Structure 1
Amino acid sequence: MKVVALISGGKDSCYNVMQCIAAGHEVVALANLKPYNETEIDSYMYQSVGHEAIEFMATAMDLPLFRKEITGSSTNLNINYSPTKNDEVEDLFELLQKVKLELSVEAVSVGAILSDYQRSRVENVCSRLNLVALAYLWRRDQSELLQEMIKSEIDAIIVKVAALGLDPSRHLGRSLRLVEPHLLAMHEKYGLNVCGEGGEYETLVLDCPLYSSRIVIEESEVILHSNDLIAPVGFLKLNNLKLETKLPQISLSDRLSSITIKDSDRYITDCGEDSIEINCEDTPDTSYNIQDIREFRHEYFGYEFTCSKSKDGWLWIGGLCGNSSDCEHALKEALEKLKSCLTANGHRLEDVVSVVMFISSMSKFVELNRLYVEVLKHVNPPSRACVEVPLPKDCPVILEVLSWSNLGSEVKGDMYLERCTMHVQSISHWAPANIGPYSQAVRIGDIIHVAGQIGLVPGSMHIVQGGIASQCQVAIRHIGRIINAIDNNVNLRHVVQATCYVNNKDLIDIARKFWEAKTNSAIVNYVVVTTLPKNALVEWHVWAHRYNSSFEFEETGKCINICSVSIYRRCNYETNVSAIVSHVDSPLDLKLELSIELYTDVFNYILRKLQSGLEDLETSICNLKIFYNVQKEIVIKDIIDVLNELRENNSIVYVLVPAVDLYSEHTLLSISGVRLP
């Protein structure tokens, strides 16, 4: 892509430009917002100190420079920014709009590391201008990142300090390379951000491989903002600068070739402490195809969607589908049903937390996604997972939706829940960007719902090379990073329940080994589907809980007639939340149809275990995601009749999903159940 780089003069914006080039993008221009009064100003968004050097940087990089004065202020301080008159963000919009009118640019380089405030505002501007944000430094380990910058021959000096442990008289004008040990020490002692991302210090890049000439400061002075005894604030005013040609004169590509900058793939393959070694000698051929699964497609089983609402504001909707063999018409109808159901229960589209899309053909994904975006197009959309399964011809789309509405004044004390959304749209090396219709994760109170994760290389958004082993490792790492980003006290071990989708039964054991190498605290349902997004081999869809350590584990089961029912249960009695994964197995040679009485006993048993020992049974929701093996003799209508009868006395929401295969060759049904208060 052709990129315009936002530069402040500091190390972060310069190093992100180098990252863009390493990722194969072409940087065609620089853009900068300068202080209106030509002096240092306070801004939540922009670095103004060192502004005197910006034109020298553009000359040194031999790139056109677009500049605009900052006329607005920090008017809109909300986390979720919307266009606001006289806000400084609108200065950025006008600047990039001008660039786009004059040059054919597709993306914006931004050096954000940790600030959601800055990132979300740049993403807002990019979205309005149909540009992609490239933020390759996002959520990098700051100690590692600073060392990487220095090794990449970025010669920067400190031009502003504003933190405990930094002194204007000692540190202004000092080389970052020399100050690095002190920054690391202050991080250990006071928690200082090593890269200065908390505003502790700002830098000016005097030289780097992007420059054909070096910036020389001939005259400067220290301006003391605050002479605070604990954390004095001061900056360096640059009175006289010049460029000094570097010899020998060599091209940009030759200058960059002399240093090591990782490309997008290297940030995945160099896993460091995240790496796992699993013996995958028996990894199946990834070209394996299940025999024409379409012969197993059942006739349309024609059941109405189910929904139920809890006292805590949860609304679960299962089995939303359209009565059409055309995928697009079916999704339109399903979305209309969704809107009607939300309205009838006092919810809005903005309240939706999570959506699972089961579709009959991944080849229709682009068209379906376009329709989806037209409806769920608000800021901070829900998380989402999407897989292809062998649906009946007359039911090409099924949706499962979880929504939550803040009950406001109706809720008191401990029952109050808070909503937090992680929707990162910038391309980075952190985790896959979600540009547009869905968020990486949504947290409601203590519960975190994560979007389905596959083995994408974040920097390129392509599937990682290396087959199932690499895809498992990368997808699991994405889950851990996303959960930790939405709550830094939470990690992969807080996952309560997961569904692992694979496109080949022989991959299940490998996926299980990788998951259990990282955590065994979750109960996992393994399901074989026909196709996953981008032809991935594996996709994980999980939810986590802040207090997973308080969840108890139970493994139980019983024989019911000719079937065995096994149950893996996680339960938190204090919060009245529970989850199960249940397998209903029968002998391999079973040919007889199972009776309605047997199904009744099976689902009564599963519901009892899901709610065992919990309170508020009348106002809670039990959601059942029932995967059935299309290669087995199963009468879906009988299951529907049994579930609908149980709904007369229980708040049950269910969705029936056909699967190519399940965990065991004996498994007829594999059920993921969740109980919310």
Structure 2
Amino acid sequence: MKFLALISGGKDSFYNIFHCLKNDHELIALGNLYPKESDKQELDSFMFQTVGHDLIEYYSECVGVPLFRRSILRNTSKNVELNYTATQDDEIEELYTLLKTVKAKIPDLEAVSVGAILSSYQRTRVENVCSRLGLVVLSYLWQRDQAELMSEMCLMSKDINNVENNTNSGNKFDARIIKVAAIGLNDKHLGMSLPQIEPVLHKLNQLYQVHICGEGGEFETMVLDAPFFRHGYLKLTDILKYSDGEVHNARLKVEFRPRHLSKVFLQTQLDQLPVPLSFRSGWEAPTQVSMKKSIEIRERRFEGPTSNTIARTSINKINDKLYISNLQSRESKTVEEQGDDIFSELADILRSNQIPRNHILSSSLLIKDMSNFGRINKIYNEFLDLTKYGPLPPSRACVGSRCLPENCHLQLSVVVDLKNTSNCEINRNKGGLHVQGRSYWAPCNIGPYSQSIWLSTDANQVSYISGQIGLVPQSMKMKEPSTDQTILALQHFDTLCKTIGAQEKLYMTCYISDESILDYVCKTWALYCSRSKYESDLWKNKTDDDKECLIIVKISELPRGAVSEWGGVTCKKLIVDDIDVEEQGGAENKNILHSFRKLNLNIEYFHDIAVSLPGSQKHFTTGFVDDREKLALVLERTSKSAQVTLYYSPGETIAFYHHVEYYPVEKIFDCDGKEHRFALHIRS
């Protein structure tokens, strides 16, 4: 893609350009925001580095692409919410105007590079602006380990003590310290290169937790040279130092030195640039173990019956959640007409209960024919309207199921937060992860859904995680060979959980589009849950009980032709575990648990977890049933105090229960690969 690089002059914005080029994107312009009062170096902007702005004009000559700039005023960080929405007179709107102007002048602009590492504040604002302009965000430094990242930057940097004797080193990355504001850093560090200051930063990190890449504002840098500075570089001639209390600054005096670097040299440097591996440390072992068995992945079209169950719309209130399930249109209409009917019904239900749309936390979308996904997604997106209802759309699982009733193109179910519904503006009780930029971290957001959603007032941080498929994050292409997709998708799920700090699994679903990978899925999940197999961080703190919360279902299709998708609900910490359920749970919750036990369900295929919240206790139960009468008994006994997701094969005829989300699938398996007639996730 053709991209504009947002630059501050600092190391991160330029090093991200390096990675954009590594991933075959084409740099066509630079963008910068600078102080309107040109004599000021520091505006204390919440968003933009302005120290060293007087050197920015040189970069256009160095790189050989046009530079677009726009001024900003002091004290214009009007909206300081983590998840930004357009705010009049905010400095971010100047960024929007800048990029809009560039896009008008360069119509084939497709993407924007930003050097965010840990700052969600910075990332969400660039993503908001780019989303409004139809641009892709490229943020390849996002969530990188700082020590590892700094080591790589130093590896690609020149040795400034030996430039005269090393021609190749003289054309490499060169960033200098221009500001320090942390314990252990002072004016003697100003002007240092990254390799020179790296040992100091590691020591300060060990002593005082100083951020090695300066993500806490400990230091700022200015780039003088880079391998893609093909037309010239900046030669440092003098350093003017000045201090303000514990903050030390430098103004660099430079001269532009013209030169010509060949494309061959740049390509050599790009070839040497380290990039993260697809599988993180600790994930190679399950890849190798699972790959010992040869698996044939092939397309199998389901030709069986459609669902016989009459799944009427269900509206069920449990604790502080409203579950709206089985929204379908049974009339023989076009995809768009059925979509309009379903979302109109959902809007009516929310309106009648005085619930704003931004209180939807999670959604489950079944599509009969995935070739209609784009048409349905358009209606879904218009319904949510992020510019009106806030920047955090619900998490979502979306799969294709040809088992839906005849003439039914789609089915929608949602989970809704019932707290503070009187406020129709942005739901400030909603927390989430809505990453829209490409990186090495995990797949970016490619639709109207968040990677994860939770409630900020929830002590357990019960989190709804969107379904994850095996996309290579930096390219957003499916992982090859396809057998690796299952592990990569589970790694993505794990990455999201670790990023938000909610790693305890309450219940999980793995959707597979080909039964031949069933054994592969079971082995991968068993290894993931086993604490005895490996000693790395990936495997510790996992117990065998974690296995039992998984339901594996064979469905017809997955987005992008994926072979598997992992989704589920996790939490930050468990207040109560399964051995305490009967003692600490309420009477109704114990009835649910006893229903399974009285039905002689094998404990191997039973899993129950409880989490405590102020004034209540919530259970998340997973189970399998192979007898229709026993299923009816479980559903009867849970009808007053639970919400059930019921997976069943389309040939089954099941009575309608108001508290059930009916989920027709082709086949159902437990975590060991044993087939069952019915599977249930129960929230009570």
Give 2:198's aligned residue. 180
Is the contact between residue 610 and residue 620 of structure 2 (CA under 8 Å) also seen in structure 1?
no
Question: Following the alignment from structure 2 to structure 1, what is the Cα–Cα distance between the partners of residues 233 and 151?
Answer: 21
Is the contact between residue 443 and residue 486 of structure 1 (CA under 8 Å) also seen in structure 2?
no
Is the contact between residue 22 and residue 270 of structure 2 (CA under 8 Å) also seen in structure 1?
no
Question: Following the alignment from structure 1 to structure 2, what is the Cα–Cα distance between the partners of residues 82 and 573?
Answer: 33
Give 1:603's aligned residue. 632
Alignment of 1:578 with 2:649, yes or no, is no
User: Structure 2 counterpart of 1:477, which letter?
Assistant: Q
Q: CA deviation at 1:573?
A: 6.0
Alignment of 1:516 with 2:526, yes or no, is yes
User: Structure 2 counterpart of 1:626, which letter?
Assistant: L
Question: Following the alignment from structure 2 to structure 1, what is the Cα–Cα distance between the partners of residues 602 and 150?
Answer: 57
Alignment of 1:430 with 2:434, yes or no, is no
Q: Which moved more, 1:114-123 or 1:269-278?
A: 269-278
Q: CA 1:484/1:31 → structure 2, altered by over 3 Å: closer, same or farther? A: same
User: Structure 2 counterpart of 1:55, which letter?
Assistant: E
Structure 2: state its 5+ residue gaps: 158-172, 530-543, 582-592
Q: CA deviation at 1:578?
A: 1.5
Q: CA 1:158/1:256 → structure 2, altered by over 3 Å: closer, same or farther? A: farther
Question: Following the alignment from structure 1 to structure 2, what is the Cα–Cα distance between the partners of residues 559 and 572?
Answer: 20
Q: CA 1:565/1:483 → structure 2, altered by over 3 Å: closer, same or farther? A: closer
Q: Which moved more, 1:146-155 or 1:274-283?
A: 274-283
Give 2:8's aligned residue. 8
SS in 1 for 2:233: strand
Question: Following the alignment from structure 1 to structure 2, what is the Cα–Cα distance between the partners of residues 662 and 342?
Answer: 35
Instruction: Give a deviation string over 1:37-67, Cα, whole Å, max 9, x none.
Output: 2221211111111112212222111111111
Is the contact between residue 387 and residue 532 of structure 1 (CA under 8 Å) also seen in structure 2?
yes
Q: What is the total number of aligned residue pairs between the two structures?
A: 615
Give 1:165's aligned residue. 184
Question: Following the alignment from structure 1 to structure 2, what is the Cα–Cα distance between the partners of residues 70 and 579?
Answer: 50
User: Structure 2 counterpart of 1:483, which letter?
Assistant: C
Is the contact between residue 75 and residue 87 of structure 1 (CA under 8 Å) also seen in structure 2?
yes
Q: CA 1:329/1:276 → structure 2, altered by over 3 Å: closer, same or farther? A: farther
Instruction: Give a deviation string over 1:504-525, Cα, whole Å, max 9, x none.
Output: 2231221122122222425100
Give 1:208's aligned residue. 226
For 1:258-407, list aligned pairs within 5 A.
258-260=269-271, 267-269=276-278, 271-277=280-286, 278-287=289-298, 289-290=299-300, 292-298=301-307, 301-312=309-320, 314-325=321-332, 326-378=334-386, 379-390=391-402, 391-407=404-420
Q: CA deviation at 1:661?
A: 5.0
Q: CA 1:156/1:323 → structure 2, altered by over 3 Å: closer, same or farther? A: same
Give 2:236's aligned residue. 217
Q: CA 1:435/1:298 → structure 2, altered by over 3 Å: closer, same or farther? A: closer
Q: CA 1:567/1:512 → structure 2, altered by over 3 Å: closer, same or farther? A: closer
Alignment of 1:673 with 2:682, yes or no, is yes
Give 1:628's aligned residue. 648
Identity of aligned residues (%): 32
**TM-score between the two structures when normalised by the length of structure 1:** 0.85
Question: Following the alignment from structure 2 to structure 1, what is the Cα–Cα distance between the partners of residues 385 and 527?
Answer: 38
User: Structure 2 counterpart of 1:528, which letter?
Assistant: K
Q: Which moved more, 1:344-353 or 1:250-259?
A: 250-259
Give 1:546's aligned residue. 572
Alignment of 1:84 with 2:106, yes or no, is no
Question: Following the alignment from structure 2 to structure 1, what is the Cα–Cα distance between the partners of residues 578 and 674?
Answer: 29
Give 1:503's aligned residue. 513
Question: Following the alignment from structure 1 to structure 2, what is the Cα–Cα distance between the partners of residues 53 and 173?
Answer: 15
Question: Following the alignment from structure 2 to structure 1, what is the Cα–Cα distance between the partners of residues 370 and 272?
Answer: 36
Q: CA deviation at 1:117?
A: 1.1
Q: CA 1:661/1:544 → structure 2, altered by over 3 Å: closer, same or farther? A: closer
Is the contact between residue 431 and residue 454 of structure 2 (CA under 8 Å) also seen in structure 1?
yes
Question: Following the alignment from structure 2 to structure 1, what is the Cα–Cα distance between the partners of residues 678 and 369?
Answer: 23
For 1:8-27, list aligned pairs within 5 A.
8-27=8-27
Is the contact between residue 329 and residue 408 of structure 2 (CA under 8 Å) also seen in structure 1?
yes
Question: Following the alignment from structure 1 to structure 2, what is the Cα–Cα distance between the partners of residues 60 and 315?
Answer: 58
Q: CA deviation at 1:164?
A: 1.9
Give 2:63's aligned residue. 61
Is the contact between residue 296 and residue 516 of structure 2 (CA under 8 Å) also seen in structure 1?
no
Q: CA 1:43/1:120 → structure 2, altered by over 3 Å: closer, same or farther? A: same
Instruction: Give a deviation string over 1:129-163, Cα, whole Å, max 9, x none.
Output: 22111111111111111111222232211001112
Instruction: Give a deviation string over 1:532-569, Cα, whole Å, max 9, x none.
Output: 111111101111011237322699956869x9897512
Give 1:120's aligned residue. 124
Q: CA 1:253/1:136 → structure 2, altered by over 3 Å: closer, same or farther? A: farther
Q: CA 1:173/1:560 → structure 2, altered by over 3 Å: closer, same or farther? A: closer
Give 1:132's aligned residue. 136
Question: Following the alignment from structure 2 to structure 1, what is the Cα–Cα distance between the partners of residues 59 and 636?
Answer: 66
Q: Find the partner of 2:149 among 140, 145, 150.
A: 145
Structure 1: state its 5+ residue gaps: 411-415, 587-597, 612-616
Q: CA 1:250/1:221 → structure 2, altered by over 3 Å: closer, same or farther? A: closer
Give 1:413's aligned residue. none
Give 2:541's aligned residue. none
User: Structure 2 counterpart of 1:399, which letter?
Assistant: L
**TM-score between the two structures when normalised by the length of structure 2:** 0.84
SS in 2 for 1:386: strand
Alignment of 1:235 with 2:237, yes or no, is no
Is the contact between residue 279 and residue 488 of structure 2 (CA under 8 Å) also seen in structure 1?
no
Q: CA deviation at 1:394?
A: 2.2
For 1:400-415, list aligned pairs within 5 A.
400-407=413-420
Q: CA deviation at 1:220?
A: 2.7
Give 2:41's aligned residue. 40
Q: CA 1:499/1:581 → structure 2, altered by over 3 Å: closer, same or farther? A: same
